[in-house]
Amino acid sequence: MSLTIAIPKGRLGTQAIQMFKAGGIGESIDEKSRKLVFKDEDINISFILLKNSDVITYIENGIADIGISGKDMIMEKGADIFELYQMNIGRCKMSVAGIKGKKVFKDDTIMRVATKFPEITKKYFDSRGQRINIIKLNGSIELAPILGLSDVIVDIVETGNTLKANGLEVFEDMYHISAMMISNRISYKFKRKEIKKIVELIRGEDEDGQ
């Protein structure tokens, strides 16, 4: 039976590809080439390289059977997928941050929050009854409070270097994030054996890497 695996381009994908290769699959993948589809012909497994935010779309639509996505994307999209395995890579936090020493959680005015994650942000502040204005950005979120576009940001913090370099600090941690192996729901029913093999392989490499 054939299997298609969706891999996000970038650092997370590079780590995942290393794990696949260490586990003996993904030999056809050449990250240096501009190709986006690779196939291990002998084991009938295809690998597609996608933008991080598109992995879920391909899996939800059954084009890819399984794949790797950050938990942040899964939460943001409210993805209709099956979570197979929480990986040890891509570990970071989602946090509320702002200008160092200027923590603002004002009650009197509506706080402006800049983020790449409007859905997560809305749910988080809704759940504690705080009204906010969300400013959706696509990157360089840290600029927003510095330039006065927002009061705070909601963003991913990994090493904290970006915050520090821009004179910001964490005000509040929201969620732990890591990479997840995910599956299309129907694929998981009909290709369970094949999928479990891949999960076991990744789990082995993941634990070795610790």
Interface ranges with ligand PRP (CB under 6 A): 139-142, 155-162
Contact by Cβ (8 Å): 68, 16:
yes
Smallest gap from Cβ 9 to ligand PRP, in A, equals 12
Residues facing 83 on adjacent strands? 182
Smallest gap from Cβ 186 to ligand PRP, in A, equals 32
Nearer to ligand PRP among residue 80 and residue 172 (C-beta): 172
Smallest gap from Cβ 146 to ligand PRP, in A, equals 13
Nearer to ligand PRP among residue 61 and residue 161 (C-beta): 161
Nearer to ligand PRP among residue 17 and residue 154 (C-beta): 154
With residue 195 as reference, give the H or E element that holds it.
helix 192-208
Where do we find the tokens 């702002």?
A: 98
Nearer to ligand PRP among residue 51 and residue 189 (C-beta): 51
* Helix, strand or coil, per DSSP, at residue 152: strand
Q: Is 18 left (phi over 0), alpha (psi -120 to 50) or beta?
A: alpha
CA pair distance 20, 28, nearest whole angstrom: 11
Smallest gap from Cβ 52 to ligand PRP, in A, equals 9
Distance of CA 114 to the CA centre of its chain: 18
One-letter amino acid at 75 equals M
